[in-house]
Amino acid sequence: MHSPNPWQSYRQVATQTAPPGQLVLMLYEGAIRFLERALSGFAHDDPAEFNVTINNNVQRAQDIIRELDASLNMAVGGPFAENMRRLYDYLDRRLMESNLKKQDGGIREVIKHLAVLRDAWSGLLQGLGSVPAQVLKEQLAA
């Protein structure tokens, strides 16, 4: 019988119980982590490991970016949501190009952009720490 991985169980519970704002932060961190793993693929001498490591991790990061894009509320977000959509589309394209050409420049660029977004989001969440939970939930759900 296969015993469950405790870390995987913890992550599953954490994502199911985290507030929406924390989930966005977790998505940014996850995308960055996958892209850093993709960069590690460039060190592989074996062509199969090289390609698989880069491809799989870039695709996982793209899935996260697409999820962030799909979660934008275009009706309420106005110009900010439109700008974020354009940014997510650009990041997705850069990753697609980098994956296709197996070049690390686009991956590094996307990591930088995501790190800025992650840090800004983290600061926003810290600043909202004193806001009552219901108000925060309503604002993030809008």
Give pTM, 2 decimals.
0.79
Domain 20-141, CATH among 3.30.70.20, 1.10.760.10, 3.30.565.10, 1.20.120.340: 1.20.120.340
Residue 19 backbone phi and psi in degrees, to 5: -65, 160
CA 125 to chain centre: 16
Quick one: which of 4, 104, 113, 8 has its CA closest to 53? 104
Encode pLDDT of 38-97 as tens digits: 999 999 999 999 999 999 999 999 999 999 999 999 999 999 999 999 999 999 999 999
Read off the DSSP letter of residue 18. S
Ordered DSSP codes for 29-80: HHHHHHHHHHHHGGG-SSHHHHHHHHHHHHHHHHHHHHHHHHT--HHHHHHH
Encode pLDDT of 51-64 as tens digits: 999 999 999 999 99
